[in-house]
């Protein structure tokens, strides 16, 4: 029977279009499932294409006033939203767990992080300066200004919808854009709550609009001529469909996609710290985090002790009821995802991977929920399916290396390029290796701490393009205008 969900007050409004908060859209009915027990939490009437039309119209109607609002006023609204998010964190946390089985323990951090995003980008809203350019040729005055696109369509995945949505919304709004946001139907509650908080903070109607739905709603957004840019966070397979569709209208698309991030563990490292941080690649976001370090490359001199330490530490991670405060890891999002993960693990073992721990779905109290244990596969061949593809589950693969050059080669020999983690106590090596990583974010002796709103986050290669966070994140939602004035 798994772990039943306690009583949680789920938000009512699945769609917020201009002034109107609505419980039912014109699309199909979807039964949301709580993955720790398989029980249906509530049925939702999803959005249809005409709801997307209305949301886009509302955003476009709100845009002239939002764009013209002085930066200090936009900043103050964003700072107020940050405070409201913090004040209501206790209401948000259970929704984060109810929507996808995230652990309750992580909830306060998620709200604090969202508040920081609105503070950080609120701080940019009153500093959207341009620049002047000394001209060539005859006397002229030339300046560059940074303009909003208009309406940004935001499509996010189920694994961290609140995190992903706020990561995009904060810079998009600060830059003066309005937003049409799609909440994923299989993890909708936190974003629905966020829309309530946006209202409470006093944002003008239409600046942020919400439609809840699945792929058809996302596709309608991409096709919609009234949406000026799409920011997509999700899988590479969906990104290809979105790019093909956006090609028809030449619509710009920002992509934050998946990864198979390498963790390079050198023999000079603090073994215990490196193992703890290495394990977090399986545990973080219930093993379903895009930038989790899931491909461990370990120097041969410490290979066996490292693998043994991973196994010992994994045994201490409590997997189970997301609402229990001592739970460190919750369920997989669905039975389908669990079957996919198990299939990859089974094939990984058949290809020569040694299962050090895990490898079978969890039974006993966990049966009935979609629970898969931390699974470590050692001696995994670099060319095997499980070494090269994103598993999106609590699965680590471990491969030995003999030299720094080999470690760099193995790390970079991947279709993906989202994160890279380096564990060493040698500062010179840290810089040398970091400088060779083909990844958008490199962390030395870290395991996720870098992901704050003030730094750019995003991928190289199949992990996407564009950045969220930092000034680079703001620029994603601005277009550049150059003005030249003849002074002759
Ligand atoms: P997904 O691509 O299946 O779905 C993502 C979103 O796209 C959902 O909201 C879905 O409804 C929508 N969608 C599906 N088909 C669409 C279409 N044809 N047109 C428009 N929208 C469409 O991905 P998922 O399974 O929900 O999420 C897991 C993936 O997301 C993983 O690959 C993970 O690594 C990635 N991810 C990346 C980041 C990042 O910041 N780089 C963050 C979180 C997750």
For 4-67, give the DSSP string: PPPP----S-SEEETTEEESB-SS-EEEEEETTTTEEEEEEE---HHHHHHHHHHHHHHHHHHH
pTM of the model: 0.98
Confidence at 466, pLDDT banded by 50, 70, 90: very high
Question: Is 6 domain-assigned?
Answer: no
Closest residue by Cα to atom 30, ligand 1, is: 234
Is 2 inside a domain boundary? no
Pocket of ligand 1 (CB under 6 A): 155-160, 164, 182, 184, 214-215, 218-219, 222, 233-235, 238, 241-242, 256-259, 290, 390, 392, 418, 459, 464
Q: Does residue 139 belong to any structural domain of this protein? A: yes
pLDDT digits over 295-354, tens only?
Answer: 999 999 999 999 999 999 999 999 999 999 999 999 999 999 999 999 999 999 999 999
| Ranges assigned E (strand) in 46-164 | 131-132, 140-148, 151-155
CA distances (Å), origin 211, targets 22, 32, 84, 419? 10, 16, 22, 31
Angle CA(451)–CA(148)–CA(453) in degrees, nearest 5? 10
pLDDT level of residue 272 (50, 70, 90 thresholds):
very high
Q: Identify which of 35, 44, 157, 337 to mutate to test ligand 1's pocket (most ligand atoms within 8 A of the CB).
A: 157
Query: What separation in Å is there between the alpha carbon of 302 and the centre of ligand 1?
Result: 37
Is 460 part of any domain?
no
Percentage of residues in the chain having pLDDT higher than 70: 100
> Is residue 192 domain-shared with residue 293, that is, in the same domain?
no
Residues 206 and 282 occupy one common structural domain:
no
CATH number at residue 473: 3.40.605.10
How far apart, in Å, are the Cα atoms of 189 and each of 186, 307, 320?
9, 38, 21
Q: Which helix (H) or strand (E) holds 420?
A: strand 419-423
The CA 233 to ligand 1 mean position distance, Å, reads 5
Same domain flag for 243 and 146: yes
Distances (CA, A) of 274 to 267, 296, 302, 398: 10, 10, 11, 13
Q: How far apart are CA 233 and CA 165, in angstroms?
A: 9
Burial of residue 13, with CB atoms counted within 10 A of its CB: 0-12 exposed, 13-18 middle, 19 or more buried: middle
Contact 358, 373 (CB under 8 A): yes
Domain shared by 420 and 474, yes or no:
no
Q: Which of 99, 178, 185, 290 is catalytic?
A: 290
Q: pLDDT tens digits, residue range 28-66?
A: 999 999 999 999 999 999 999 999 999 999 999 999 999
Residue 254 CA to its chain's centroid (Å): 13
Residue 178 a catalytic site member: no
User: What are 81-96's pLDDT values in tens digits?
Assistant: 999 999 999 999 999 9
Burial of 1 (0-12, 13-18, 19+ CB in 10 A): exposed
Q: Is the predicted pLDDT of residue 1 greater than 90, yes or no?
A: no
Rounded CA-CA distance 474/170 in Å is: 9
Residue 383 CB neighbour total at 10 angstroms: 9
pLDDT digits (tens, 9 = 90+) for 178-218: 999 999 999 999 999 999 999 999 999 999 999 999 999 99
Mutate to test the pocket of ligand 1, among 158, 210, 211, 238 (most ligand atoms within 8 A of CB): 238
Contact present, 154 and 180 (Cβ < 8 Å): yes
Same domain, 337 and 226: no
- Determine the residue of 154, 235, 393 to mutate for testing ligand 1's pocket, defined as the one with the most ligand atoms within 8 A of the Cβ atom: 235
Q: Is 308 found in the same domain as 274? A: yes
Residues 317 and 439 placed together within one structural domain of the fold: yes
Return the closest-CA partner of residue 197 out of 121, 125, 118.
118
CA of 130 to the centre of ligand 1 (A): 34
The DSSP-derived string for 201-256 is HTPPTTSEEEEEE-HHHHHHHHH-TT--EEEEES-HHHHHHHHHHHHTTT--EEEE
Largest CA distance in the chain: 84
Task: Let me know if residue 246 belongs to a domain.
Answer: yes
Q: How far apart are the first and last CA of the chain?
A: 81
157 alpha carbon – ligand 1 mean position (Å) = 4
Residue 285: CATH number of its domain: 3.40.309.10
Number of domains within the chain: 2
The pLDDT tens digits of the residues spanning 288-298 come to 999 999 999 99
Question: Residue 101 has what pLDDT?
Answer: 98
Residue 290 CA to ligand 1 center (angstroms) comes to: 10
Q: Which of 22, 185, 256, 476 is catalytic?
A: 256
Question: Does 9 fall in a domain?
Answer: no
**Residue 179, SS3 per DSSP:** strand
Token pair in block for residue 33: 């499932």
CA distance 103 to 154: 25
Chain centre distance of CA 104: 18
Looking at ligand 1, which residue's alpha carbon is closest to its atom 6? Answer: 157
Nearest-atom number in ligand 1 for the CA of 184 is: 9
Q: Mark whether 153 and 267 lie in a shared domain.
A: no
Show Cβ contacts of residue 136 under 8 Å, excluding neighbours closer than 6 positions: none
Question: Can you give the residue range of the structural domain that contains 371?
Answer: 261-452
Q: Is 395 a domain residue?
A: yes
Concerning whether 290 is annotated as a catalytic residue, the answer is yes
Q: Report how far ligand 1's centroid is from the alpha carbon of 295 (Å).
A: 21
DSSP assignment letter at 176: T
Same domain, 203 and 293: no
On whether both 220 and 177 belong to a single domain, the answer is yes
Place of tokens 């073994």: 271
Which residues is 421 bridged to in the sheet? 263, 443
Residue 367 lies in a domain: yes
DSSP-derived 3-state class of residue 480: strand
Residue nearest to atom 10 of ligand 1 (CA): 215
**Rounded mean pLDDT of the chain?**
98
Instruction: Identify whether residues 368 and 394 lie together within a single domain.
Output: yes
Indicate if 181 and 205 belong to the same structural domain.
yes
Percent of the chain predicted with pLDDT > 90: 99
pLDDT tens by residue, 410-444: 999 999 999 999 999 999 999 999 999 999 999 99
């Amino acid at each position: 029977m798994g772990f039943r969900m306690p009583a949680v007050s789920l938000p009512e409004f699945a769609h917020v279009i201009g002034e109107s908060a609505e419980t039912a859209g014109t699309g199909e009915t979807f039964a949301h499932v709580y993955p720790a027990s398989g029980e249906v939490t509530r049925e939702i009437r999803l959005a249809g294409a005409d709801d997307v039309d209305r949301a886009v119209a509302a955003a476009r109607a709100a845009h002239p006033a939002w764009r013209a609002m002085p930066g200090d006023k936009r900043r103050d609204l964003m700072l107020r939203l940050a405070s409201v998010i913090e004040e209501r964190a206790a209401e948000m946390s259970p929704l984060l767990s109810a929507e996808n089985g995230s652990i309750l323990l992580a909830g306060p951090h998620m709200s604090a992080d969202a508040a920081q995003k609105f503070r950080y980008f609120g701080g940019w809203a009153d500093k959207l300066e341009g620049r002047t350019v000394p001209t060539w040729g005859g006397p002229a005055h030339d300046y560059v200004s940074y303009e909003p696109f208009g309406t940004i369509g935001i499509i996010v995945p189920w694994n961290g919808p609140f995190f992903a949505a706020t990561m995009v919304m904060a810079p998009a709004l600060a830059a003066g854009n309005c937003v049409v946001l799609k909440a994923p139907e299989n993890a909708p509650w936190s974003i629905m709550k966020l829309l309530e908080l946006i209202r409470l903070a006093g944002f003008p109607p239409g600046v942020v609009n919400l439609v809840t739905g699945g792929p058809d709603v996302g596709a309608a957004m991409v096709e919609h001529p009234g949406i000026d840019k799409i920011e997509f966070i999700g899988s590479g397979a969906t990104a290809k469909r979105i790019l093909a569709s956006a090609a028809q209208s030449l619509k710009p698309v920002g992509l934050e996609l998946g990864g198979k991030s390498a963790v390079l563990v050198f023999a000079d490292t603090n073994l215990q710290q490196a193992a703890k941080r290495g394990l977090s690649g399986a545990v973080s976001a219930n093993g379903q985090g895009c930038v989790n370090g899931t491909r461990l490359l370990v120097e041969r001199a410490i290979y066996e002790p490292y693998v043994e330490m991973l196994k010992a530490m994994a045994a201490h991670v409590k997997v189970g009821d997301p609402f229990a405060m001592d739970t460190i890891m919750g369920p997989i999002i669905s039975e389908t995802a669990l079957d996919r993960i198990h299939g990859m693990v089974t094939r990984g073992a058949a290809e020569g991977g040694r299962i050090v721990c895990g490898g079978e779905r969890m039974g006993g109290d966990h049966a009935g929920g979609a629970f898969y244990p931390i699974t470590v596969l050692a001696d995994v061949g670099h060319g095997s399916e499980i070494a090269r593809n994103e598993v999106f589950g609590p699965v680590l693969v471990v491969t030995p290396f003999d030299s720094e050059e080999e470690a760099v080669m193995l790390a970079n020999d991947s279709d993906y390029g989202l994160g890279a983690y380096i564990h060493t106590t040698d500062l010179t090596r840290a810089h040398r290796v970091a400088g060779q990583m083909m990844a958008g974010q490199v962390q030395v002796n870290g395991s996720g701490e870098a992901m704050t709103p003030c730094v750019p986050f995003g991928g190289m290669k199949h992990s996407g393009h564009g950045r969220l966070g930092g000034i680079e994140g703001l620029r994603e939602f601005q277009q550049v205008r150059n003005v030249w004035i003849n002074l002759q």
